[in-house]
Amino acid sequence: NAGVTQTPKFQVLKTGQSMTLQCAQDMNHNSMYWYRQDPGMGLRLIYYSASEGTTDKGEVPNGYNVSRLNKREFSLRLESAAPSQTSVYFCASSEGPVSGANVLTFGAGSRLTVL
Amino acid sequence: KQEVTQIPAALSVPEGENLVLNCSFTDSAIYNLQWFRQDPGKGLTSLLLIQSSQREQTSGRLNASLDKSSGRSTLYIAASQPGDSATYLCAVSSSGYALNFGKGTSLLVTP
């Protein structure tokens, strides 16, 4: 009953370093998402993958890349981290598009600090 | 761009009270509206989803209503309990895969 699993839970980076956040779901969902949550800003969509083999930009994609490795896994990469990327990152999945009344299942979050 | 606003930002009530959380959105062309709960340091948990053609949805002590034409939704929590303390987020689906979230209402229910 794992649902959506994110690793790592916490990470501290220096400006300019790179890192990858990993996400895996075991619900056989087609669609996966990466959101960031910042104080006073709410959750904002970074990238999503409607189905295996596809990825699309969300509201705030600059500075990030994603890979849908297979149906289960969707990773988020920061190539050159900046302090503005300090945030809590959430991975989520759904059976299909949210417009089709599909509910998102969220992971526990990854707290990233860029110094 | 769809803007979602939640009022109040924070709320403290004594145990047993009934309470209402408010959500408003600027564009009435929506597919559905969803309410989530977030506990400190945790991810979001889906509570209720209301389709654009529906007026309300109920789950246990929770009742969510939707007035699409006026751009408003309310989440009613009956007989509040300390375990209801959390942040409640409203989100609107206006396109295929994106949800627009409000900033949330932080609820504290005191014993």
pLDDT of res. B96: 85
Question: pLDDT tens digits, residue range A33-75?
Answer: 999 999 888 899 999 999 999 999 999 999 999 999 899 999 9
Cβ within 8 Å, pair A100-B46: no
| pLDDT mean across residues, chain A | 95
What is the per-residue DSSP string for B16-67? T--EEEEEEES----SEEEEEEE-TTS-EEEEEEEETT-SEEEETTEEEEEE
Cβ within 8 Å, pair A45-B98: yes
Question: pLDDT tens digits, residue range B24-48?
Answer: 999 999 999 999 999 998 999 999 9
Q: Which of B33, B99, B100, B106 to mutate to test the interface with A (most CBs of A within 10 A)?
A: B99
Question: pLDDT tens digits, residue range A8-20?
Answer: 999 999 999 999 9
pLDDT category at A1 given cuts 50, 70, 90 is: low
Is residue A48 a contact partner of residue B97, using CB atoms and an 8 Å limit? yes
pLDDT of res. A44: 96
Q: Closest chain B residue to A98 measured between Cα atoms?
A: B97
Cβ within 8 Å, pair A50-B45: no
pLDDT of res. A71: 96
